[in-house]
Structure 1
Amino acid sequence: MAFSGALTLSDLNDFISPSQACIKPVEVAKTSGTQGAIKVDNSGSYYEVSQDGLETKLETATINLNDCLACSGCITSAESVLVTLQSQEELYSILKQNKIAIETNDPSTHRTVVVSISPQTRASFAAKYNQTPLQVARKLTWFFKNLGVHSVFDTSFSRDLSLLETGREFVERYKKAVAKGIIKPPNMNGAASTNGTVTVAGGASGENEMDVDSLPQEISTKAPKKRIIRRGAAGANDEPAVAVETESAIPMLASACPGWICYAEKTHGYMLPYISETKSPQQIMGSMVKNHFGSQLGLNPDQIYHVCVMPCYDKKLEASRSDFYSDLYKTRDVDCVITSTEVEKMFSEQGQPDMNTFGEINLDPGYSSVIKDPTGTDQVLVGASGNASGGFLEYVMQYAARELFGIGEGIDVDKGLGVEVKTVRNADFREVTLEAPGSTNGEVLLRFAAAYGFRNIQNLVRKVKTGKSPYHFVEVMACPSGCINGGGQLKPHGDNYATIPLKEWIVQVDQQYRNGVLARKPEENPVLAQLYQEWLGGVDTPKAKQQLRTGYHAVEQNLVNPLAVKW
């Protein structure tokens, strides 16, 4: 397997490492008989020394994705995950295999190749090459199809499903937590009664919105599985006051960032019940491509090769999780993740280093967030409003206000309308509060937060652990400034790299993220209702839970020398 040449350890700004040495530095072959000793010379090379003094140099071990996930010897931000799988070389290999299959008339080895591109990647290319996001989408479609890719989609589409499902999951948890007396509902007429239950107010839908309540299956408050974890299972210092159930754990913590998930699983197992079980946009797209799209083409999941283009190296780890692997078809929902940087490297490898010279092809219909403009002659990108990490805080706040308290209008977190938005401690920690309309004493209905970067995450974890977190929902991202600043994103051109400050560059990419993109609520996506019906059989069916939600697993620590851990 080829290692990505674009993956480097330079320019780290948020790296956490409890152990500078990997717990699997060399590979030792098992031999019969007595064992010798291990010797390390001045150059750092490892040798096995037998009892008769014979020295054998040991080869450096190959660490694959599953090894990295199983190891608890290091914690990485999205900029520093070392992997030996999932690079552009893997995509080249599949495309070459397809070419041979066509030439030899052997359809058994041919696979339909699908590429799904994230909106953060579009924004990164748009900022560097001075193009609009729509132009970037068309140029990337042209580039990949010239390579032999069959379909190019947009993860903004699957993000609509992820946002809607996250909002529904939060409402489920909130109602469960109120029913169990875990949180006290606000004393608001028509929204909450004094007996600890919440009456769900019906939210008005726009003319073109999907009315979720009109779908055949009624939304249930049952979680896909009940997980009870006593904080402390991962270590004596984690002992909590009470047991925590997933279905009623508040605050609910967003799950779209695999760097954060990896950190929680390895170091804070007691946090897992709080994490949203809704799959990320990447993995929901994987489910749709391998199952729904595949069935439309009459293909099994293993006959499709699915590539996602992402701003973050940790997305490679997410795709490799066993939860997203089909034992029946021996395939993953997302076969390969390549970053924005790796895609740019592909340009040069294909002899076309300047994106501005590319042709343009309209985005494929289906799983792409495009609509016709009023003239009907061109395409317009559409996407959920909110920040460049996906807008989970913004959407869940609006959805919960409507579904729990009947506040269907007048809330816009981005513009600070209907809510109080303030920065806490630093720019990467925001707090958003929704108060009861007309309240004279400032009664809080919902208090949400966004915590970016491991420093803020660690503060959040401590508050949740001690039961002092004041929040109902938190959008958590490992990278400072969120996904738009992922470790796999592009850097400015040549000399500009030294002259443009990082913060200014992030602002430029963020502006391109929103440039020319028409804001649309997930409910307004006309294809979602059809997907729920045709693909999932309804909103709250077992198949919907299987395809849209997942679970997490505490990783048992296995440090060679725990006393040497340094934070």
Structure 2
Amino acid sequence: MSAILSADDLNDFISPGVACIKPIETLPPAPADENPYELKFSNEAPLPSDLPPAEISLTDCLACSGCVTSAEAVLVSLQSHAEVLNALDTAPALQLGQDGGIQSGVGSQDGRIYIASVSPQSRASIAAAYGISEREAGYMIEQLLSGPQGLRIGGEQKNGFQWVVDTNVAREACLVLGAEEVAASMQGGKEGPTKPILTSSCPGWICYAEKTHPHVLPHLSRLKSPQALMGTLLKTTLSKKLKISPDRIWHVAVMPCFDKKLEASREELTDVHWDGETSPGTKGVRDVDCVITSKELIMLAESRGIDFAALPRSQLPSSQSFPDQALHNFLFPPRSSIKNNGDRAAGTSGGNLHYILQYFASQHPGSTIQTVRGRNADVIDYNIISSSGETLFKTARYYGFRNIQNLVRKLKPVRPSRMPGGRPVGGARKPVGKAGSSVELSYVEVMACPGGCTNGGGQIKVDDPIVAERLGRETKPGPQEQKEWLAAVDEAYFSGSENGVVKSGGNGEMEVDSPSDTIYGISPSHIKNTLSHWADVTDIPLDKLAYTSYRAVISDVGKDKTTDTERVVQLAGKIGGGW
């Protein structure tokens, strides 16, 4: 959801339509001695007047295309900063010993583990709002979530988050797996998505594709997003190592986008899909229990009476050691291998496309990366050119729904015309990518927000009181001020490449040598070894841990529901003068 679609300004909230496919489950149960096949008139047994209202969850919303975006925004509000405070007050924190095991005492039977993951885009938004570096913003967020002056000062349980992790570590795992996925498709593998592969880490784009353009679903990358992968890693490892139920692990993600709340609600991202002991008929426990945006993070502090700006901008002491040492070193890397946000060429959406270009360029020594700008700044073609001038690999970047619509139109399959001699219907006049090239486009980075993820709908905006007060602005900002503000957020995002934001690991931290196979600052062998270790620890195949699926959303809302049989009966009645 882009900045112009922020839920704060919507005033056309409506309830889901009467044709919504969510079933009504509030009918009173039939008595045990009643004949289930007996017909009764509705006036014989009036319904009670105190029935609870029907509830529609985010998962139900994603299963129906009959509701407008405003209704989705209402459902999105169910995942809020208030939900975080309610969760922290639900149960005491589960205490772990130095060996990572559960300590006996308060909370050992009913306690929870509270853990948070923070995106670099959210840190950049906080940094720009308060005029600080991204590193300092990361420390302030950690102080709020885990520190003694943060959330722990209030609430029934005085709870805070036991771990605060950076989603960059999951992002780097997604980059390595994504490059392998594209390489497999280029080698003609039958499994996996078809070319061109489209990124799937943007939930707004995924929801749009599932509801309106099912023909692009075979092209979507099967990889989970960094948010989803981090949620799966945390819940699988903790539940298996500590031998506790996943519902005793509560995970919140701080993200730049409202649509990330929709992603967290997907049925594919629950323990049903990785826990063999969970019944497939149940809804399952979410890998990410709640998502709050950068703006809601400030509201979270205000709800506890905390002045966010006054929080210490210093690093907390080393956190509790994660139950598995190898995964602890992965989640909390030593200072010598701090995760960064990449350079400007990678963009502000994780660098999926940039890493893949670097990966394939490394496979062809002497090759260069050619950049060709499209009709606007959010459409760019990237080609890998060999030393002899041959095009080896073609990719592209499409940001914003206006450009995405052009992309999906080009990917629409061509069908033959019903008219004799007619031209085929559908598809694009020109293939995706530049005309005149025999090389097929292999990969496209797709993001719903123009400019990328730093422009997400949940980010702090230039007209928010925090920004207006710091900048001393009294009038409403215009387009130029908004452009300058987004540039300031991007600047803060890229500053993370120099400073780093993740604190050192806890007990048992050790320095590691720089791997020799590093590509764009990432070691594929280290990532793959860590993921293999994760699969061994949890005894779950990696394809269940790191990959997901998509489905076309088919709805009859607003469509003619008359069947062919009923239509024939109607015509037969009209023939006999049945008007």
The TM-score with structure 2 as length reference comes to 0.69
Report matched runs for 1:369-448 at 5 Å. 371-372=334-335, 381-385=339-343, 386-403=346-363, 406-407=364-365, 418-439=368-389, 443-448=390-395
Structure 1 residue 114 displacement after superposition: 0.7
The one-letter code sitting in structure 2 at the alignment partner of 1:552 is Y
Hey, what's the Cα distance between the residues in 2 that align with 1:81 and 1:438? 56
* Residue 514 (structure 1) aligns with: 494
Q: Secondary structure at the match of 1:473?
A: strand
Hey, what's the Cα distance between the residues in 2 that align with 1:482 and 1:394? 14
The one-letter code sitting in structure 1 at the alignment partner of 2:448 is A
Q: Secondary structure at the match of 1:399?
A: helix
Q: Which has the higher strand share?
A: 1
Do the aligned residues in 1 keep the contact of 2:115 with 2:250 (CA within 8 Å)? Answer: yes
1:452 aligned to which of 378, 399, 404: 399
The one-letter code sitting in structure 1 at the alignment partner of 2:452 is G
1:562/1:133 Cα in 2 relative to 1: closer, same or farther (>3 Å)?
Answer: farther
Q: Is 1:490 aligned to 2:453, yes or no? A: no
Hey, what's the Cα distance between the residues in 2 that align with 1:110 and 1:294? 13
* Residue 90 (structure 2) aligns with: 97
The one-letter code sitting in structure 2 at the alignment partner of 1:382 is N
Hey, what's the Cα distance between the residues in 2 that align with 1:423 and 1:80? 34
1:434/1:85 Cα in 2 relative to 1: closer, same or farther (>3 Å)?
Answer: same
* Residue 571 (structure 2) aligns with: none
Hey, what's the Cα distance between the residues in 1 that align with 2:359 and 2:93? 50
Q: Is 1:82 aligned to 2:75, yes or no? A: yes
Count how many residue pairs are aligned between Structure 1 and Structure 2: 452
Structure 1 residue 122 displacement after superposition: 0.6
Hey, what's the Cα distance between the residues in 2 that align with 1:559 and 1:34? 28
Q: Is 1:171 aligned to 2:131, yes or no? A: no
Hey, what's the Cα distance between the residues in 2 that align with 1:168 and 1:100? 39
Structure 1 residue 57 displacement after superposition: 12
Do the aligned residues in 1 keep the contact of 2:170 with 2:227 (CA within 8 Å)? Answer: yes
Q: Is 1:255 aligned to 2:200, yes or no? A: yes
Q: Secondary structure at the match of 1:71?
A: coil
1:121-147 CA-partner distances (Å, limit 9, x unpaired): 010001001111111111111110143
Q: Secondary structure at the match of 2:177?
A: helix
1:447-501 CA-partner distances (Å, limit 9, x unpaired): 2111111111110001011262232211111111121111111123523483362
Hey, what's the Cα distance between the residues in 2 that align with 1:482 and 1:434? 23
2:448 aligned to which of 478, 481, 484: 478
Do the aligned residues in 1 keep the contact of 2:93 with 2:114 (CA within 8 Å)? Answer: no
* Residue 23 (structure 1) aligns with: 17
Give 5+ residue unaligned stretches, structure 2. Answer: 29-38, 96-103, 152-159, 279-283, 320-327, 413-426, 434-440, 501-518, 562-579
2:432 aligned to which of 454, 460, 469: 469
* Residue 149 (structure 1) aligns with: 161
Structure 1 residue 151 displacement after superposition: 0.4
* Greater mean deviation of Cα atoms: 164-173 or 130-139: 130-139
* Residue 63 (structure 1) aligns with: 56
Hey, what's the Cα distance between the residues in 2 that align with 1:502 and 1:58? 48
Do the aligned residues in 1 keep the contact of 2:361 with 2:369 (CA within 8 Å)? Answer: no
Hey, what's the Cα distance between the residues in 1 that align with 2:108 and 2:523? 40
Hey, what's the Cα distance between the residues in 1 that align with 2:57 and 2:492? 35
The one-letter code sitting in structure 2 at the alignment partner of 1:127 is A
The one-letter code sitting in structure 2 at the alignment partner of 1:388 is T
Q: CA RMSD in A?
A: 3.8
Hey, what's the Cα distance between the residues in 1 that align with 2:269 and 2:554? 21
Structure 1 residue 24 displacement after superposition: 4.6
Report matched runs for 1:255-274 at 5 Å. 255-274=200-219
1:474/1:369 Cα in 2 relative to 1: closer, same or farther (>3 Å)?
Answer: farther
1:101/1:531 Cα in 2 relative to 1: closer, same or farther (>3 Å)?
Answer: closer
The one-letter code sitting in structure 1 at the alignment partner of 2:455 is N
Hey, what's the Cα distance between the residues in 2 that align with 1:449 and 1:57? 56
Q: Is 1:499 aligned to 2:477, yes or no? A: yes
Do the aligned residues in 1 keep the contact of 2:92 with 2:112 (CA within 8 Å)? Answer: no
Report matched runs for 1:35-434 at 5 Å. 62-74=55-67, 76=69, 80=73, 82-83=75-76, 85-99=78-92, 105-146=106-147, 147=151, 148-176=160-188, 221=189, 223=191, 246-247=192-193, 249-297=194-242, 299-327=244-272, 328=277, 330-358=284-312, 360-362=314-316, 364=319, 366-368=329-331, 371-372=334-335, 381-385=339-343, 386-403=346-363, 406-407=364-365, 418-434=368-384
Do the aligned residues in 1 keep the contact of 2:176 with 2:524 (CA within 8 Å)? Answer: no
Hey, what's the Cα distance between the residues in 2 that align with 1:351 and 1:552? 42
Structure 1 residue 164 displacement after superposition: 0.7
The one-letter code sitting in structure 2 at the alignment partner of 1:63 is I
1:304/1:506 Cα in 2 relative to 1: closer, same or farther (>3 Å)?
Answer: same
Hey, what's the Cα distance between the residues in 2 that align with 1:80 and 1:281? 23
Q: Secondary structure at the match of 1:332?
A: coil
1:176-211 CA-partner distances (Å, limit 9, x unpaired): 1xxxxxxxxxxxxxxxxxxxxxxxxxxxxxxxxxxx
Hey, what's the Cα distance between the residues in 2 that align with 1:140 and 1:30? 46
Hey, what's the Cα distance between the residues in 1 that align with 2:105 and 2:77? 31
Do the aligned residues in 2 keep the contact of 1:253 with 1:475 (CA within 8 Å)? Answer: yes
Do the aligned residues in 2 keep the contact of 1:156 with 1:383 (CA within 8 Å)? Answer: yes
Hey, what's the Cα distance between the residues in 2 that align with 1:100 and 1:141? 17
Hey, what's the Cα distance between the residues in 2 that align with 1:123 and 1:91? 22
The one-letter code sitting in structure 2 at the alignment partner of 1:303 is R
Structure 1 residue 502 displacement after superposition: 2.1
1:381/1:323 Cα in 2 relative to 1: closer, same or farther (>3 Å)?
Answer: closer
* Residue 199 (structure 1) aligns with: none
The TM-score with structure 1 as length reference comes to 0.70
Do the aligned residues in 2 keep the contact of 1:78 with 1:479 (CA within 8 Å)? Answer: no
| Percent of aligned pairs sharing the same letter | 35
1:421/1:261 Cα in 2 relative to 1: closer, same or farther (>3 Å)?
Answer: same
Hey, what's the Cα distance between the residues in 1 that align with 2:360 and 2:264? 30
The one-letter code sitting in structure 1 at the alignment partner of 2:255 is M
Do the aligned residues in 1 keep the contact of 2:92 with 2:106 (CA within 8 Å)? Answer: no
Do the aligned residues in 1 keep the contact of 2:116 with 2:254 (CA within 8 Å)? Answer: yes
Q: Is 1:556 aligned to 2:550, yes or no? A: no
The one-letter code sitting in structure 2 at the alignment partner of 1:426 is N
Hey, what's the Cα distance between the residues in 2 that align with 1:140 and 1:269? 39
1:97-125 CA-partner distances (Å, limit 9, x unpaired): 23398999342221111100001101000
1:127/1:342 Cα in 2 relative to 1: closer, same or farther (>3 Å)?
Answer: same
Hey, what's the Cα distance between the residues in 2 that align with 1:131 and 1:326? 39
